[in-house]
Chain A
Amino acid sequence: MGMRRVAIVGAGMTKFVRRAQETGKELAFEAAKMALDSCELTLKDVDCVSLGTAPDAFDGVHMKGEYLSDGAGGWRKPVMRPYVGGGTGVFNAIHGWFHVASGLFDVCLVVAEEKMSSCYPHPAGAFLTIFDHTTEQPLKPNLIWIFALEMRRYMETYGISHKDIALVSVKNKKNAMDNPCAQIPEEITVEDVLNSEVLADPVHRLDISPTTDGAAALVLVSEHLAKKITDKPVWLDGVGWNVDTAYWATRDLSYPKYVEKAARMAYDMAGIKEPSKEIQVAEPYDPFDYKELHHMEGLQLCGKGEAPRLIAEGVTARDGNLPTCPSGGLLGVGNPIAASGAMKICEIFWQLRGEAGKRQVPGKPKVGLAQAWGDLMQVGTVVVMRV
Chain B
Amino acid sequence: MNEKVAIVGVGCTNFRSTTPDLSYRELTYEAATKAYEEAGVDPRKDIDSFVSTAEDFFEGYSIADEYCPDQLGAVLKPVNTISGDFLQSLITAYMQILTGRFNIVVVQAMSKASNMTTLKELELFAFDPVFNRPLSENPHFVAGLEMNRYLYDTKITREQCAKVVVKNKLNALNNPYAGHGAKITVEDVLNSEIISYPLTRLDISPSSDGAVVMVLASEDAAKKLSDKPIWIKGVGWCSDTFSLESRDWAQPISTEIAAEMAYKMAKIGNPRKEIDVVELSDIYSYKELQHLEALKFCGKGEAGKMINDGITKIGGEIPVNPSGGNLGVGNLYECSGAQKTLEVVLQLRGEAGKRQIKNANIGLAHSWRGVPTTSSAIAILSN
Contact B92 A70 (CB under 8 A): no
Contact B77 A243 (CB under 8 A): yes
Residues of B within 8 A of A69 (CB): 239, 242, 375
Interface string of B35-72 (1 = CB under 8 A from A): 00000000000000000001111001111011111100
Q: List 29 A-B contacts (CB under 8 A).
A: A3-B99, A55-B62, A61-B125, A63-B57, A65-B83, A66-B239, A66-B242, A66-B375, A69-B239, A74-B239, A75-B240, A76-B240, A76-B257, A77-B238, A78-B236, A78-B261, A80-B91, A82-B92, A102-B1, A103-B1, A103-B98, A130-B66, A242-B77, A243-B78, A243-B80, A244-B76, A262-B78, A375-B66, A376-B63
Interface string of B225-252 (1 = CB under 8 A from A): 0000000000111111111000000000
Contact A243 B69 (CB under 8 A): yes
Interface of A toward B, CB cutoff 8 Å = 1-4, 54-57, 59-67, 69-70, 74-86, 91, 95, 97-99, 101-104, 126-130, 132-133, 240-247, 257-258, 261-262, 265, 269, 374-376, 378-379
Contact A378 B373 (CB under 8 A): no
The distance in angstroms between the C-alpha atoms of A349 and B369, with both chains bound, is: 35
Contact A82 B81 (CB under 8 A): yes
Contact B242 A80 (CB under 8 A): no
The distance in angstroms between the C-alpha atoms of A4 and B101, with both chains bound, is: 11
Contact B66 A66 (CB under 8 A): no
Residues of B within 8 A of A62 (CB): 55-57, 122-123, 125-126
Looking across the interface, which residue of chain A has its beta carbon closest to that of B375?
A66
Shortest beta-carbon contacts, A-B, top 4:
A102-B98, A62-B125, A102-B95, A55-B62
Residues of A within 8 A of B176 (CB): none
Contact A78 B238 (CB under 8 A): yes
B144 touches A (CB below 8 Å) = no
Which of A1, A126, A262, A378 is B1 in contact with, Cβ under 8 Å? A1
B200 touches A (CB below 8 Å) = no
B331 touches A (CB below 8 Å) = no
Closest chain A CB from B156 CB (angstroms): 25
Contact B100 A98 (CB under 8 A): no
The distance in angstroms between the C-alpha atoms of A74 and B238, with both chains bound, is: 8
Contact B99 A2 (CB under 8 A): no
Looking across the interface, which residue of chain B has its beta carbon closest to that of A77?
B238
Residues of A within 8 A of B94 (CB): 102
Extra contacts besides A56-B55, A83-B82, A95-B92 (7): CB < 8 Å = A66-B126, A85-B65, A101-B98, A103-B98, A244-B76, A376-B63, A379-B65
Contact B62 A56 (CB under 8 A): yes
Looking across the interface, which residue of chain B has its beta carbon closest to that of A258?
B76
B295 touches A (CB below 8 Å) = no
Contact B369 A66 (CB under 8 A): yes
B128 touches A (CB below 8 Å) = yes
Closest chain B CB from A309 CB (angstroms): 28
Interface string of B84-99 (1 = CB under 8 A from A): 1000100110111011
Contact A85 B63 (CB under 8 A): yes
Closest chain A CB from B23 CB (angstroms): 9
Interface centre among B74, B83, B98 (most CB of A within 10 A): B83
Closest chain B CB from A113 CB (angstroms): 13
Contact A98 B76, CB 8 Å, known A3-B1, A55-B63, A78-B236 = no
The distance in angstroms between the C-alpha atoms of A56 and B128, with both chains bound, is: 13
B253 touches A (CB below 8 Å) = yes
Tell me the interface secondary structure of chain A in the complex. mixed
Closest chain B CB from A287 CB (angstroms): 14
Residues of A within 8 A of B240 (CB): 75-76
Which of A61, A95, A262 is B129 in contact with, Cβ under 8 Å? A61
B108 touches A (CB below 8 Å) = no
Interface of B toward A, CB cutoff 8 Å = 1, 54-57, 60-63, 65-70, 74-84, 88, 91-92, 94-96, 98-101, 122-123, 125-126, 128-129, 235-243, 253-254, 257-258, 261, 265, 369, 372-375
Residues of B within 8 A of A242 (CB): 76-79
Residues of A within 8 A of B88 (CB): 80
Contact A133 B60 (CB under 8 A): yes
Contact A241 B78 (CB under 8 A): yes
Residues of B within 8 A of A65 (CB): 83-84
Residues of A within 8 A of B369 (CB): 63, 66
Contact B65 A375 (CB under 8 A): yes
The distance in angstroms between the C-alpha atoms of A56 and B127, with both chains bound, is: 13
Looking across the interface, which residue of chain A has its beta carbon closest to that of B253?
A76
Contact B239 A244 (CB under 8 A): no
Which of B62, B77, B84, B261 is A81 in contact with, Cβ under 8 Å? B84
Closest chain B CB from A23 CB (angstroms): 8
Contact B254 A374 (CB under 8 A): no
The distance in angstroms between the C-alpha atoms of A246 and B76, with both chains bound, is: 10
Closest chain A CB from B249 CB (angstroms): 16
Closest chain B CB from A188 CB (angstroms): 31
The distance in angstroms between the C-alpha atoms of A244 and B69, with both chains bound, is: 7
The distance in angstroms between the C-alpha atoms of A55 and B61, with both chains bound, is: 9
Residues of B within 8 A of A56 (CB): 55-57, 62, 125
Residues of B within 8 A of A70 (CB): 239, 241-243
Residues of A within 8 A of B55 (CB): 56, 62-63
Looking across the interface, which residue of chain B has its beta carbon closest to that of A105?
B95
Residues of B within 8 A of A258 (CB): 76
Interface centre among B79, B88, B237, B253 (most CB of A within 10 A): B79
Contact A247 B83 (CB under 8 A): no
Residues of B within 8 A of A3 (CB): 1, 99-101
The distance in angstroms between the C-alpha atoms of A360 and B160, with both chains bound, is: 67
Residues of A within 8 A of B98 (CB): 101-104
Residues of B within 8 A of A103 (CB): 1, 98
Contact A63 B126, CB 8 Å, known A3-B101, A77-B238 = yes
Closest chain A CB from B133 CB (angstroms): 9
Closest chain B CB from A147 CB (angstroms): 15
Looking across the interface, which residue of chain A has its beta carbon closest to that of B370?
A63
The distance in angstroms between the C-alpha atoms of A379 and B80, with both chains bound, is: 9
